[in-house]
Amino acid sequence: MGFYQRHLFFCLNEREDGKQCCNQGGQAAAAFHAAKKQAKALGIHGEGQVRVNRSGCLGRCSEGPLAVVYPEGVWYTYVDEQDVREIVESHLRDGLPVERLRI
């Protein structure tokens, strides 16, 4: 087994050229902080469990805001904190990808 069972990455990239990016209006940063806080509250964040990380541009900017879970390689988009909560509880904790949020 790897150091972490699963890794959730949130793209927090911001562009200054006006093109679409994941952290427009701070949405991705808020989602990242909410997910990390929730994973810690659930007691699943840390070595041998899961980790929530920020990332730079993941190259799918027009489909964002984006998050991706490895090792499964499941890509998500999300709208609100409820979506983020579902990704953490269903996928990170229970190992069940959230089909309705997949891209």
Rounded CA separation 66/64 (Å): 4
Number of residues counted as binding ligand FES (CB under 6 A): 11
Torsion of CA 79, 81, 82, 84, to 10 degrees: 80
Which residue from 8, 39, 44, 66 is in contact with ligand FES, where contact means CB under 6 A?
66
Inter-residue contact 69 to 7 (CB < 8 Å): yes
54 binds ligand FES, rule: CB under 6 A: no
Which residue from 29, 30, 57, 98 is in contact with ligand FES, where contact means CB under 6 A?
57
Positions in the binding site for ligand FES (CB under 6 A): 11, 13, 21-22, 57-61, 64, 66
